[in-house]
Amino acid sequence: MDNVIFKRRSIRRFLDKPVEQEKLERILRAGMQAPSAHNNQRWELLVVTDKDKREALSKMSPWAGMVAKAPVAIVVMGDTSNEELKQWFQQDLSACTENILLQIAEENLGGCWMGFYPNMERVKMIQDYFNIPEQILPFSVIALGYSEDENKYVDRYDPNRVHYNKY
């Protein structure tokens, strides 16, 4: 139980310390390593380190305040211009988001997933602020950085929710 799948937790408090570029790049690579329907890989990642921009982003959801204090925020977005692939966009971007969170834990950093899509008011605020085209939908925002809080295991396994061969 000591791999990052079990240890990863939402970390919402960050130290005022930059994240090394090589760590950040591995985190972004992990996101793009995710499975996607038809292997379509239609994700786009907006990395926000600028303080003013993070502050603005932190106000675009009532639950995103920590973005102002994190050294890095990643907006995970999807290109929904292909109607057929669009139907899988939430699954694809969830896989991408989770991969990013797992690599953040692997790098001994802390991170937190913030939901934006399908709240279209929040989605539109990001699109307008960053001049993002309509078909590129911001899906989630991830705050990340060094933290004094630790990724640590909590047991959530519930055998009552597992069904073998019949429900």
Ligand X SMILES: Cc1cc2nc3c(=O)[nH]c(=O)nc-3n(C[C@H](O)[C@H](O)[C@H](O)COP(=O)(O)O)c2cc1C
Q: How far apart are CA 150 and CA 147, in angstroms?
A: 7
Counting residues that bind ligand X (by CB under 6 A) gives 10
Q: What is the DSSP letter of 160?
A: G
Tell me: does residue 9 bind ligand X (CB under 6 A).
yes
- Decide: is 36 part of the binding site for ligand X (CB under 6 A): no
For ligand X, the binding residues in 38-97 under the rule CB under 6 A are 61, 63-64
Q: Identify which of 139, 108, 93, 90 has the alpha carbon closest to the alpha carbon of residue 9.
A: 108
77: left (phi over 0), alpha (psi -120 to 50) or beta: beta
Q: How many whole angstroms separate alpha carbon 75 and alpha carbon 139?
A: 7
Q: Using CB under 6 A, which of the segments 20-28, 84-92, 111-119, 126-134 binds ligand X?
A: 111-119
Nearer to ligand X, 3 or 81 (CB): 3
6 makes contact with ligand X (CB under 6 A): no
Enumerate binding residues for ligand X (CB under 6 A). Answer: 9-10, 12, 61, 63-64, 112-115
